[in-house]
Chain A
Amino acid sequence: MIRPHRTHPLWLAYFLHRLSGLVLALFLPLHFYVISLALTQPERLDGFLRWTEMPVVKLAEVGLVFLLAVHIFGGLRLMALEFLPWSGRQKTLAASALAVSFFVSLTFFLRAV
């Protein structure tokens, strides 16, 4: 998988973007389902929300927020690369996008606990 020609920052950024997009896409229908429980069975939604209080689940949530943030900031970086007439220092930008994502999900984490 991690073959030699893939061991550089921009490829890793690409991979992270794809991975996060994929996980988000798979998670989303689930998320929608849970939310729509509010319509049909509010008590089950509450049950579910209580379940999310468990540390493991919390951590998974943080992970999701992280992936969402990664995907958003990574996506913004990509679109900046594509649409803004500037080109240099893509590696720095990719790293910054990742850093911001960490920051956001950390904030989320701290608020959540």
Chain B
Amino acid sequence: MVTEKENLDVFVWRGLAETGRFERYEVPAQDSQTILDVVSWIQQNLDATLAYRFACRVGMCGSCAMMVNGEPRWTCRTHVRKVLRGNQLKIAPLRNLPVIRDLATDMDPFFDKWVAAEGHHHPTRTRDDAIEALDPQSPERRAANAGIECINCAVCYAACDTVANNPDFLGPAALQRAWTVHNDARDGDQPAILEAVSGKGGCHNCHSQGSCAQYCPNDLNPMTAIAGLKRASVKSFFKRER
């Protein structure tokens, strides 16, 4: 607890992935203070060139994720009190992504995989057609809804060791998106999705480590989604064989 207003001992990663190092800063503790506030305070008061990224500051845009004391987190909604160890914080760029500088990562690989997993709608109707009436309680719709609120923050991507060890692996978020689209009754190309997630970086590489579900700040469960894809791909495998 930080009741008496003392300084936090903050170690921040500076520089590139290979050549960087942690640097120590002292930041005044406050009652209402998020990790993002700590990082901003350093940038605004101690070193204006500290590179980091945020946008919405309320957990909607998914651009502020970093490693905090070794765990991936959305920093704008992580209260300092929740993660403080002793009086220390260790803040590093999100794992498993190329580092641009300091705390800013290049998220392109994450989104390239999102697209590679066919994580987008394949339309069956046009803007001239009426909107399809759909039972919100049908099992497929519920399965689709389960993963729909992903904010693509890449926290799961950073938590997953398979992503770390297997550069081709599409990763939990992209696969979860593919599963969501696959379950959407309006989608017109389910075979393409299954094809996309059955390649050498596909869903079958997931070892159900569950770190994705453990860390997803929105309590989503990509592990279950990926299991769904495995099941669906096996089913279609047998159908084709017949």
From B69, B210, B227, B231, contact of A10 by CB (8 A): B210
We find that the number of chain B residues with CB closer than 8 angstroms to chain A is 23
- 0/1 interface trace, chain B 182-221, chain A, CB 8 Å (1 if under): 0000000000000000000000000111110111000001
- B211: chain A residues within 8 A (beta carbon): 5-6, 8, 10-11
- 0/1 interface trace, chain A 1-33, chain B, CB 8 Å (1 if under): 001111011110110011000000000000000
Report Cα–Cα, A101/B90, bound state, in Å: 39
Which among A42-50, A64-72, A82-90 touches the partner chain?
Answer: A82-90
From A10, A17, A82, contact of B214 by CB (8 A): A10
Report Cα–Cα, A85/B232, bound state, in Å: 11
Q: With both chains docked as a complex, state the minimum distance between the C-beta of A108 and any C-beta of chain B, in angstroms.
A: 27
How many of chain A's residues touch chain B, expressed as a range? 10 to 19
B171 within 8 A of A: no
- A6: chain B residues within 8 A (beta carbon): 161, 211
B172 within 8 A of A: no
Contact A87 B159 (CB under 8 A): no
> Which residue numbers of B lie inside 8 Å of A, CB to CB?
69-72, 95, 158-159, 161, 207-211, 213-215, 221, 223-224, 227, 230-231, 234
> Which residue numbers of A lie inside 8 Å of B, CB to CB?
3-6, 8-11, 13-14, 17-18, 78, 81-83, 85, 87, 90
